A and B are shown apart, each in its own frame.
Chain A
Amino acid sequence: MRKLTRRRFLNGALLPAVLEAPPERPIQDGEPEPGAALPPDIIDTNVHLFDWPFRRLKYAGAKALVAKLRRHRITQAWAGSYEGLLHKDLDGVNARLADECRANGAGILLPFGTVNPALPDWEEDVRRCHEQHRMRGIRLYPSYHNYTLARPELARLLRVARERGLIVQLAVRMEDPRVQLPMTRTPSVDVAGLPGLLAELPTLKFQLLNAFNATESLRGLVGRRLIAQIRVTLDFSHVEGQGGLGKLIAGDPANGRPPLPVERIVFGSHAPFFPCESAVFKLFESPLGRPDLEKVMRGNAERFLNG
C-alpha cells in the first residue's frame, strides 16, 4: 500500500468531502512529492486568432482560445492572425489583432502582426506593428504571400526587424499540402537559403514555425548543420514520431539525426488549428527531465523574447 502523503490526503480525501465530488486526479507513478517546486507555466509561441479561411474552428475567438490555453497552464501566447494569410489590407488585419488581444486576451495574448514584403510599403506595416501596436514580433507567410527566401525585400525586412528588436517568425507551413483545396497551392517553404539570408544578421531574433514535419531539409544531418549555422529557434508543434521531442533533443542516431540544442526549442501548439493537447502531450510522451522541460515550456521563449 502506498504511503499516505499530505498531497494524497488532500487530493484523495479532503477535497471530495468538501466539494461532494469523487476524486478526479489519481496519483501516478513518478508524481512529484509534496514540497516540490510548483509546476512551471507554459509560453506558447505559436497561436492564431480569428477564422481559419477554410473551416470553422472551435477556439477561433480570443475568449474561447484564452480559456482553452489556461486549461493547459499556458499563461502567455504569441498570437498571429489567420486574416493575414489572404487579406491584402494587412494594416487592418494587424489593428484588429491588436485590439482583440487587448480587449479579450486577458493579458496572456501577445499580438504578432503579419507583414508581406511583396506588398507596396510594407515598411509602414512594420513601423505600425512596432510603434503603434507595441508588438514584440511579426509573422511571415511566404507560401501564402507567394514569395521565396530569395526575394530582396525579405532581406531588407529582416534588417529592419533586427534594428527594431522585433522577433521574426516565419511559418514554414500552415496546413498539410496533401489536404488543401485544389485551388490552394501553399507548399512548405524551402528554407535551404536561410544561411545566406541570415549570415549578416547574427543578432536577429528568428523563429521557424511549424517546421520539421514537412521540412525534410531540417530533419537530417544537413538540416542540423543548417540550424547550427543560423542559430534559429524552432517550435515543436509539427515534430512527429514516438517520443519525437526527446529524440530531437537527444538525437536519433538510428535515423541519422544528431541532437538539437534544447536551447533552440520552444513550445508551440499551432492552436487553434491543432488541438492544444497535441503539443502538451509531447511534453510527456518523451521521458524528459524537469530542467529540459522547463526550458522548452517557458525558459527559452522568455529568453528569446526579452534577451
Chain B
Amino acid sequence: MAPPDTRSFALNPADYGLPTREQLRSLRIWDIHYHGLWEGDLRKHEETMVTVDRMGIERVLSLDIAGTPADPLGERMPAEKKKELRRLLEAHSDRVSVLVPVDPSDPLGSLTKIEEWVANGPCVGIKYYGGNPGSVRCSHADNDVIIRRAGQHDALIYIHAWYQMGGEPRRPGGANQPGESTLEDVAILARRFPDVSMICGHSGGDWELGVRAVRRLPNVYLEFSGSDPHSGQVDFTVAQVGVSRLVWGGHGPSRSYSTELAKVFDADLTRPQREQIFGGNLRRLAGPIFRKKGYRL
C-alpha cells in the first residue's frame, strides 16, 4: 500500500497525546537551527522542507549559507553559487532566513562578510561554528570587532557551544574540537557586551553545566537542539533562567524534529510559555533587523 502524502497522517496525533499539525502551526514555530542548506545543497534543502512543512514549522533560519566549518567565510565557494543562494533567499524570505557563518580566526574577513551578507544583503545574523581553521574560541579578544559590528546592525548572534566530555584529565569540554567554544567562553564574551544579545547553541550539550555557566547573564539566550532529548531539560532551564531566554531549534535534517519538539512538550508549561519558546522569544530578538529589512515577523 502506498504511504499517504506528506501532509496527511494515517493516524491522528491527538489520539496519542500529541498536537496535530494544525496545533503545531498555531504555535508559530521558528527553527533557528536549520542545516538543510548545508554546503549550499539545494536538493537537500528541498527535501528537508517537506518535513518542515509536515511538522508545521513556520520559518527556518539557516546557519550554513556561504560557509562551512572548514571554510566559514566561503572563500572557496564559487561566486556563481553565492549568487544562486542569494536569489533563493530573496525568493523565499517568507520561509527561510539566514545567519551567515563567521570566522573568529579571521576577524577582518568576518567584517567583510557581515557587510556583504547582513548589512547589504538578505541575511539577519551571524553564526559561530563548532570550530574554525584558526582554532579561536569566541572568548578571544579578536571576536570583539565582530560582535560590535553585528550589534550595530542588530544582527542575531548564534554561537555553537558544547561541553564534550574527554581529554586528559577527563573533563567537560576536554574533547571539544579546536576552536569549539564552551559556555564559559560564551559567558566571557557576553560579559564584555552586556547590551548585545547572544544565542548560545545546544545549551552546551551537557545542559546541566551549560545553563549554570550563563544563568546570571541576561543577554545570553539558550537554544537546546542537537543533543539527546532528556526529560526535564526544559523544565530545569526555565526554572534557572526563565522562559523568556529559551529559543527553539530543530537541527534538521541531521536531528529529528520529534527529538526537538519532544523536549518542549515534555516540560510542564502553559501554552503562552510554549509560544515564547517556539518562536515568540526569537521574534522579539529578531524584530529590529526583520523590520529594517521588511521581513514578515
Q: List residues of A whose CB falls within 8 A of some B CB.
A: 25-32, 39-40, 42, 55-59, 71-73, 175-182, 213, 238-244, 246, 271-285, 287-293
Contacts A39-B15, A182-B172 given; indicate if A278 touches B257 (C-beta within 8 A): no
> Are A177 and B165 closer than 8 Å at their CB atoms?
yes
> Are B171 and A58 closer than 8 Å at their CB atoms?
no
Cβ–Cβ < 8 Å partners of B261 in chain A: 277, 281
B112 beta carbon closer than 8 Å to chain A: no
> Are A285 and B164 closer than 8 Å at their CB atoms?
no
CB interface residues, B 170-212, toward A, < 8 Å: 170-172, 175, 205-206, 208
Find the B residue at minimum CB distance from A243: B51
A285 to B262, CA, bound (A): 12
A–B Cβ pairs within 8 angstroms, 23 of them? A25-B20, A28-B13, A30-B9, A55-B208, A57-B232, A73-B15, A73-B16, A178-B165, A238-B228, A240-B254, A242-B48, A242-B255, A243-B51, A274-B229, A275-B229, A281-B18, A281-B257, A281-B261, A284-B9, A284-B18, A285-B54, A287-B54, A289-B1
A287 to B22, CA, bound (A): 16
Cβ–Cβ < 8 Å partners of A238 in chain B: 228
Within the complex, the shortest CB–CB distance from B130 to chain A, in Å, comes to 12
Contact bitstring B231-258, A, C-beta under 8 A = 1, else 0: 1100100000000000000001111111
Which of A213, A285, A290 is in CB contact (< 8 Å) with B228? Answer: A213
Majority secondary structure of chain A interface residues (helix, strand, loop or mixed): loop
Q: List residues of B whose CB falls within 8 A of some A CB.
A: 1-18, 20-23, 48, 51, 54-55, 162-166, 169-172, 175, 205-206, 208, 227-232, 235, 252-259, 261-263, 265-266
Which of B162, B166, B175, B262 is in CB contact (< 8 Å) with A275? Answer: B262
Find the A residue at minimum CB distance from B5: A287
Find the B residue at minimum CB distance from A272: B231
> Are B227 and A179 closer than 8 Å at their CB atoms?
yes
> Are B3 and A287 closer than 8 Å at their CB atoms?
yes
> Are B21 and A28 closer than 8 Å at their CB atoms?
yes
Contacts A30-B9, A176-B228, A177-B165 given; indicate if A288 touches B3 (C-beta within 8 A): yes
> Are B51 and A289 closer than 8 Å at their CB atoms?
no
A104 to B263, CA, bound (A): 26
Within the complex, the shortest CB–CB distance from B295 to chain A, in Å, comes to 25
Within the complex, the shortest CB–CB distance from B119 to chain A, in Å, comes to 33
> Are B165 and A179 closer than 8 Å at their CB atoms?
yes
Which of A31, A55, A279 is in CB contact (< 8 Å) with B9? Answer: A31
Counting chain A CB atoms within 10 Å of each CB, which of B22, B163, B262 scores highest?
A: B262
> Are B11 and A275 closer than 8 Å at their CB atoms?
no
Contacts A26-B22, A178-B164 given; indicate if A287 touches B11 (C-beta within 8 A): no
Cβ–Cβ < 8 Å partners of A179 in chain B: 163, 165, 205-206, 227
Within the complex, the shortest CB–CB distance from A121 to chain B, in Å, comes to 34
Which of B10, B48, B230, B231 is in CB contact (< 8 Å) with A293? Answer: B10
> Are B228 and A32 closer than 8 Å at their CB atoms?
no
Cβ–Cβ < 8 Å partners of A32 in chain B: 10-12
Counting chain A CB atoms within 10 Å of each CB, which of B5, B18, B54, B208 scores highest?
A: B18
Cβ–Cβ < 8 Å partners of A278 in chain B: 229, 256, 258-259, 262
Find the A residue at minimum CB distance from B259: A278
> Are B206 and A289 closer than 8 Å at their CB atoms?
no
Cβ–Cβ < 8 Å partners of B172 in chain A: 182
> Are A289 and B20 closer than 8 Å at their CB atoms?
no
A292 to B4, CA, bound (A): 12
Nearest 3 pairs of A and B residues by beta carbon: A30-B8, A281-B258, A275-B266
Contacts A72-B16, A242-B48, A281-B257 given; indicate if A273 touches B231 (C-beta within 8 A): yes
A40 to B261, CA, bound (A): 23
Which of B9, B11, B256 is in CB contact (< 8 Å) with A244? Answer: B256
A26 to B235, CA, bound (A): 27
A27 to B12, CA, bound (A): 9
Cβ–Cβ < 8 Å partners of A39 in chain B: 11-12, 15-16
> Are B230 and A274 closer than 8 Å at their CB atoms?
yes
Within the complex, the shortest CB–CB distance from B220 to chain A, in Å, comes to 20
> Are A287 and B257 closer than 8 Å at their CB atoms?
no
Cβ–Cβ < 8 Å partners of A293 in chain B: 10-11
> Are A25 and B258 closer than 8 Å at their CB atoms?
no
A240 to B205, CA, bound (A): 16
Cβ–Cβ < 8 Å partners of A284 in chain B: 9, 11, 13, 16, 18, 258
A32 to B164, CA, bound (A): 45
A273 to B229, CA, bound (A): 8
> Are B231 and A271 closer than 8 Å at their CB atoms?
yes
Contacts A30-B10, A176-B227, A273-B230 given; indicate if A282 touches B258 (C-beta within 8 A): yes
> Are A29 and B15 closer than 8 Å at their CB atoms?
no
Cβ–Cβ < 8 Å partners of A246 in chain B: 3
Cβ–Cβ < 8 Å partners of A271 in chain B: 231
Contacts A26-B20, A57-B232, A271-B231 given; indicate if A182 touches B171 (C-beta within 8 A): yes
> Are B165 and A274 closer than 8 Å at their CB atoms?
no
> Are B48 and A287 closer than 8 Å at their CB atoms?
no
> Are A290 and B263 closer than 8 Å at their CB atoms?
no
Contacts A277-B265, A281-B262 given; indicate if A241 touches B16 (C-beta within 8 A): no
Cβ–Cβ < 8 Å partners of B4 in chain A: 30, 287, 289
> Are A178 and B175 closer than 8 Å at their CB atoms?
yes
> Are B257 and A289 closer than 8 Å at their CB atoms?
no
Find the B residue at minimum CB distance from A25: B14
> Are B55 and A285 closer than 8 Å at their CB atoms?
yes
A139 to B234, CA, bound (A): 30
Cβ–Cβ < 8 Å partners of B12 in chain A: 28, 31-32, 39
